Amino acid sequence: MAIPLLDLKQQYAAIRDEALRVTAEIYESQLFILGKRVDDFERDFAAYCTTRHAVGVSSGTDALLEALMVLGVGPGDEVIVPAYSFFATAGVVARLGAIPVFVDITLDDYNLDPAQIEARITPRTKAIMPVHLYGQCAPMDEIMAIANARNIPVVEDAAQAVGADYRGKRAGAIGAMGAFSFFPSKNLGAFGDAGAITTNDDELAVKLIDYRVHGMRPKYFHHVVGGNFRIDALQAAMLHIKLPHLESWHDGRRRNAELYRRHFAATNAGERVVLPEELPGRRHIYNQFVIRFPEGSETRDRVMAHLKSVAIGCEVYYPLTLPQQECFRDVPGAHDAYPNSDAAAAQTLAIPIFPELTEAQIAEVVREIVQGLG
């Protein structure tokens, strides 16, 4: 039986009736832009993230872009980002005419290495943007200490980490702002594109609300140049329906992570397969379960080909580091060494982790990975 990397249909079955009812209500009302549906979601999402404010936006990319815009990031400024992440993390910096300054990651959590940040700070550093990759928080105590000592704002790229915790704090509640993606594959996924920005800062919240509609306040008076970063009322309503289920979906993913650990421990794979670690004081929400083959890309690619041949979904996130992307070839620092990011790109593979997976399916995935190792 095929095992997909992600099966959203099972999750949909649990909320189908309510989703269809609310969709019909919105269609009947013909109220699609902002309004009560967005307000309700923002209130409850802020409560979930333990922040004073949440501002719904059109995507995770726009959440990052708008967060940097309200900080005034512009041409010639520098923003520190990990060398290994989804493209948007660095793409938004470049779109503002600023320079993404890459810092290598550590392989125990695939996140920004705090020991390497200070050397990359200059008088032009306008923000530090750690990513909570795959659903586990970056080492925020160390990052915040470095940033606070220099008054540099931190924007958390929490796109993959809704509900992740770090030493009693929640992703998106630690830095100046947190940017979330509700792309359908995220633990909290919309019915299309959507995102949000969280903050505890009242002034930033006002700016975020203004920049979301072209820097407008009051209507048709534009005091800054923003954009159209609005979340659709339909998406906000779907996310609002899903939010009460989110903790149980996290639980399912965390249970599956434990099952993988148990089933791998019973094989002879040993150190040939490195499983994701949940570091002390962090709650991983396993948006992805990413395993690593320290032998290198040949082994990873062989296992991937085998899994595909037996219809088990898997994916390489991400085959290139950010400095290796063609569009960043002229960025200063693009040709420096980022050995851990290179290793992550060459050696990792994401395997199914969605909450509804059964133990029998997990056992099968493990069996086939061991088979593919040869």
Ligand X SMILES: Cc1ncc(COP(=O)(O)O)c(C=O)c1O
Residues that bind ligand X (CB under 6 A): 59-61, 64, 85-86, 88-89, 131, 157, 159-160, 181, 183, 193, 195
38, 44, 50, 51: CA torsion to nearest 10: 20
Give the CB-nearest residue to ligand X: 60
Contact 53, 198 (CB under 8 A): yes
* 105 versus 303: smaller Cβ distance to ligand X: 105
State in angstroms the smallest separation of the CB of 167 from ligand X. Answer: 21
Listed in sequence order, the DSSP H helices in 213-321 are 233-242, 246-265, 297-309
Instruction: List CB contacts of 47: < 8 A, sequence separation 6 or more.
Output: none
* 140 versus 369: smaller Cβ distance to ligand X: 140
State in angstroms the smallest separation of the CB of 59 from ligand X. Answer: 4
Give the sheet arrangement for strand 165-166, strand by strand: 169-170, 165-166, 282-283
State in angstroms the smallest separation of the CB of 266 from ligand X. Answer: 32
* 89 versus 341: smaller Cβ distance to ligand X: 89
State in angstroms the smallest separation of the CB of 186 from ligand X. Answer: 7
Contact 15, 242 (CB under 8 A): yes
* 85 versus 256: smaller Cβ distance to ligand X: 85
* Residue in the block written with tokens 């379960």: 289
- The residue type of 91 is G
Rounded-to-integer distance, Cα 178 and Cα 53, Å: 10
State in angstroms the smallest separation of the CB of 225 from ligand X. Answer: 21
Rounded-to-integer distance, Cα 205 and Cα 202, Å: 5
* 236 versus 366: smaller Cβ distance to ligand X: 236
State in angstroms the smallest separation of the CB of 60 from ligand X. Answer: 2
* 287 versus 361: smaller Cβ distance to ligand X: 287
